[in-house]
Structure 1
Amino acid sequence: MGWKKFGMMFLALILIFTMAACSDESESASGKKVDKNTSATLTVWIHPYVNQELKDKQNEVFDNMAASFKKKYPNVKVKFEEIPWANREQKILTALAANQGPDVFYLIPDIMAQFADQGVLTPITDLLGDDWDKEDFEQSSIDAVTYKDEIYGLPLLREVQTYMYNTKILEEIGADPNDLPETWEEFDQLAQKAKDKGYFARSFEGANTANATLYPLVWQSGGEVISKDGKVKINNKDGVEAFERINKWYKEGFIPKDSINTLEHFTPFVEGKILAVWGSGGTIAALREKGFNDYVIGPPLKQEKMATFGTTGMFVVPTTSKNKELAAQLVKEMTNKESSEAFNELAKFIPARKSATSIYDGDKDMAKMTEYVQYANPGVIHPVARVVMPKIQAELQAMMEGTKSPKEAADAVAKAIEEEMGK
């Protein structure tokens, strides 16, 4: 579905939603008071966070969350329903507009800002009470679930994306796996050596979101996409430098020719055709599943500063829930220390709670990822962040195809963002 068409559909849905919300205004403001005798059914929408082989274990983790919650609220039934990742935004918005959505669902920061701005999320700042151990969450995680000074969810997971290098190729090109690149210049020197031996330097999945392609380079260059005061910055000097770096990699053959529009470079990395794959904890799990051990994890790069992308996954409460306070209590249970440990150890994410990160004390790879999470930015927290993603992809593709210069592509992206802000 095109974004313009979706935008028209969404406006229609919002009109329906607004009428439904207005009929229940007092409840929307505070939710229902709850105690241990409260009776209700809460529906939670989740996603496939692991592969099919681990699905039963994922179900067990969520069932345990429900069982723990039921000890506090024995008359409450918790139903978990899994929806696919694809088109999840449209599915959620459509369900909420029809007043048929869940009581709790999963979001990431850039979608959270969009949904909060559209009025479909309940701020849970006051619903949480005083016993949710705020000090146990990393401040960056709290920032990632906050929009306009209101907390809209509690974080369960954090992610960090970085480079994983093929150790056999490193050995062949005379590189030290214990002294991996930290700067753009150092990486490009290694990339040239890999290219000279017939390898690509790194994966670049151009059809992926800008979170995984462009934005890390913008931040590493010292730039911003949108400033905190709402100014578009992506086409300033630092932003253009990021476009130029991607263009350089493509023109010089450091990244594969299909980098313009591919979604998958994991296979060629495993096949020994690419020096480094850009990945996360999920990539480590996939490498282990394949029995691929010839890799080492390198740090995110820097130009002006070390930075990368890593989402923060949270559970939120929609304004359509008839049991908002109870749903907020369930969110607390689903993101407590025990839940965080069980979920993240299975799915290979990094806990948002400080007290839960010890799950990786005996796992050198995930301990390294936990070390790098301090450099991870959860994305652009702004209502238009997700809407402009297709335009950014299109402009990167135009640049790599040679029809636009890096500056022209950056200016076009800035214009698209400004136009969305003006709607």
Structure 2
Amino acid sequence: MWSSKFLNEGTVCMFKKSKVWFVLLVLPLVLAACGSDGNDPAPGSSNGSSGEAASPSGEITVWAHPYVSEEKAGEMKAFWDSVIQAYNAKFPDVKVKFEEIPWKDREQKILTALSSGTGPDVFYQIPDQVPQFANQGVLAPLDDYLTDDDLADFNEGALKAGNVDGKQYALPILQETQTLIYNADIVKDIGEDPANLPTTWDEFNAWAEKAAAKGYYARDFAGAEACCNATLYPLLWQKGGDVLAEDGSVILDNEAGVATFQYIKDMYDKKWIPADSVSNKDQFPEFLSGKMMAIWGSGYTLTVLNEEKINYVIGEPLTDRTKATFGTVGMFVVSDKSKNKEAAAEFVKLLTDTENQKTFNKLTNYIPTRKSAASIHDGDEAMKKMTAIASVSRAGIVSPVARTIMPKIQAEIAAMLEGGKTPQEAASAAAAAVRDELAKVK
């Protein structure tokens, strides 16, 4: 049986079938420090700066995650081996130590490494993490190791995801977008056309009523996972709301915010989402077993559905007042604790170059962040559609408190679904929790 876990984080979702794990949204809370040995030459010494400077030497440690299923683990290992081999061909005096760490309990592992000084030089981040960790002094700015030519080929939005206060802290390797994916057989069973999917809340609601009347769930809502990117935020944006205004003020409890909380409560009360949406982190089995009309997913979801031979169709992000959805950017960063920052920065540059992006994203079914790598999904209509959806995707809440507010917001949603609070009370309490977290970083 497959299972899924929305991580965020982009979100990330994990699917498991026997020994196989698929990670969606990929995208985990990573803090890291570096205790590796080596020299840290003058910034920019190997990217075209004037004067002769020694090539990097010493050692760097790279931490990454299982971005593919266990069945493809060999291919992923071959990818990392090739990257390290290419890097050592350019920088033979640098020893690269690579470790794949699991998504599960990664925060504890990395925080322990941070406190002990034994963590990585290079590690993975997503957009709502970078401001927080940059604000805490965990990340090293990469600007001194980059030229304009190094940055010219990246998609502007993906590159911006790693920029905080004008400093480039990360280089992106992947983009992911998420949307509702429908079981075409269930769509037919409720008397609708899989070729004419809902584009608005009103249209989806009409289908949801029909699905519920037939004994199906309309969609999933993993309410126990403290990651709002896959639950609240897309609905909030589609309603025209947000957590923070452009000036940084909290607007989660404004009219759009309360209406979004009300909509989630309505879905629960009408049984459009499962009764265990308060406590369940994993409702993908209901979709795979034919009990659910639509699942919130990404390109990785398609990999699973293809293997399971599910007859599916990809929906457009819904609109109430705005067409929007969640989509993350996966990036690699350098620890500010690194004793070999230049060598680490050069590894990140090589890892995110055109050829490595082509190989990585073809293997993982993500979207490249370089224009020169965009052709890898030509001929794949499903991935072409996911790529097009990326144009209306948002990368979560970009704030130093982006990660810390999620469990607090989800706790208020749970209290509302359990009947302990009204949507207004839950939205107000969630907004107050966000304000409290913001006050801590001022």
Q: Give TM-score, length-normalised by structure 1.
A: 0.90
The whole-number CA distance in structure 2 between the counterparts of 1:131 and 1:99 is: 34
State the number of aligned residues: 399
**1:241-256 superposed matches below 5 A:** 241-256=259-274
Does 1:321 pair with 2:338?
yes
- Partner of 1:413, secondary structure, is helix
Deviation string 1:79-103 (CA, Å, 9 cap, x unpaired) is 2101121232343233233322111
Pairwise CA distance, 1:36: 7.4
2:252 aligned partner, one-letter code: I
1:236-288 C-alpha deviation (Å, 9 max, x unpaired): 11122211111111111111111112111111111111010111111111112
Q: Distance in 2 between matches of 1:115 and 1:242?
A: 30
2:308 is matched with: 290
Pairwise CA distance, 1:303: 1.1
C-alpha contact 1:309 1:377 (8 A) present in aligned 2:
yes
Cα displacement (A) at 1:180? 0.7
From 84, 98, 101, give the equivalent of 2:102. Answer: 84
Give how far 1:332 is off.
0.9
* Structure 2: runs of 5+ lacking an equivalent: 1-30, 47-52
1:350 aligns with 2:387: no
1:31 touches 1:322 (CA, 8 Å); kept in 2? Answer: no
The separation in 1 between residues aligned to 2:241 and 2:386, in whole angstroms, is 24
Matching of residues 85-234 of structure 1 within 5 Å:
85-132=103-150, 134-208=151-225, 209-234=227-252
For residues 133-177 of structure 1, give each alpha carbon's deviation from its aligned partner in whole angstroms, at most 9, with x where no partner exists.
x23222211221111221110011111110111111111112111
**How far off is 1:182 after superposition?**
0.9
CA distance in 1, matches of 2:234, 2:208: 18
User: What is the CA deviation profile of residues 65-122 of structure 1, one whole-angstrom value per residue up to 9, with x for unaligned ones?
Assistant: 1122222212222221011212323432332333221110001111211111100110
> By percentage of residues, which structure has more helix?
1
Aligned to 1:280: 298
Following superposition, the deviation at residue 32 of structure 1 comes to 7.9
Deviation at 1:186, TM superposition (A): 0.7
Give unmatched runs, 5+ long, in structure 1: 1-13, 21-25
The residue type equivalent to 2:60 in the other structure is L
Structure 1 range deviating more: 90-99 or 70-79: 90-99
Match of residue 55 from structure 1:
73
Amino acid paired to 2:341: K
Decide whether the 8 Å contact of 2:45 with 2:54 is kept in 1: no
2:49 corresponds to which residue?
Answer: none
Tell me if the contact between 1:192 and 1:254 (Cα under 8 Å) persists in the aligned partners.
yes
Conserved? CA contact 1:44–1:80, under 8 Å: yes
TM-score, normalised on structure 2?
Answer: 0.86
Amino acid at match of 1:147: V
CA contact (8 A) 1:203 1:256 kept: yes
The match for 1:269 is 287
Q: Equivalent residue of 1:278, what SS?
A: strand
**Residue aligning to 1:422:** 439
Pairwise CA distance, 1:31: 4.8
Distance 2:407 2:56 in 1: 45
Contact 1:37 1:74 survives alignment (8 Å): no
Q: Does 1:240 align with 2:258?
A: yes
Matches within 5 A, 1:258-407: 258-292=276-310, 294-407=311-424
- Deviation string for 1:293-326 (max 9, x for gaps)? x101011111111111111110000111111122
Give the Cα separation in 2 of the matches to 1:37 and 1:115: 29
User: What code does the residue aligned with 2:264 have?
Assistant: I
Identity of aligned residues (%): 49
Contact 1:41–1:76 (CA under 8 A) maintained in structure 2 = yes
Determine if contact 2:94/2:343 at 8 Å carries over to the other structure: no
Deviation at 1:229, TM superposition (A): 2.6
Q: Structure 2 vs 1, CA of residues 32 and 94 (structure 1 numbering), >3 Å: closer, same or farther?
A: farther
- Equivalent residue number for residue 4 of structure 1: none
1: CA distance between counterparts of 2:307 and 2:333?
32
Question: Distance between the aligned counterparts of 1:217 and 1:136, measured in 2?
Answer: 32
Amino acid at match of 2:114: L
- Whether the 8 Å CA contact 1:106–1:315 is kept in 2: the answer is yes
Measured in 1, the distance between the counterparts of 2:155 and 2:297 equals 22
C-alpha separation between the residues in 1 aligned to 2:106 and 2:439?
Answer: 25
2:129 aligns to what SS in structure 1?
helix
Alpha-carbon distance in 2 for matches of 1:310, 1:85 = 19
Q: CA deviation at 1:125?
A: 1.9
State the AA in 2 paired with 1:215. Y
Residues 40 and 343 in structure 2, CA contact (< 8 A), matched pair in contact too: no
Q: Which moved more, 1:63-72 or 1:53-62?
A: 63-72
Q: What is the distance in 1 between the residues matched to 2:324 and 2:216?
A: 26
Give the SS at the match of 1:327.
helix
Distance 2:316 2:160 in 1: 23
1:8 maps to none
C-alpha offsets along residues 12-38 of structure 1, whole Å, 9 cap, x if unaligned? xx9xx9xx9xxxxx969x658446743
Mean CA deviation greater in 88-97 or 194-203: 88-97
> CA separation in 1, counterparts of 2:360 and 2:60?
20
Residue 179 to residue 320, structure 1, CA distance change in 2 (3 Å)? same
Q: Structure 1: how far apart are the matches of 2:77 and 2:314?
A: 30
CA distance in structure 2 between the aligned counterparts of 1:330 and 1:72, rounded to whole angstroms: 10
Residues of 1 paired with 2:95 and 2:243: CA distance? Answer: 43
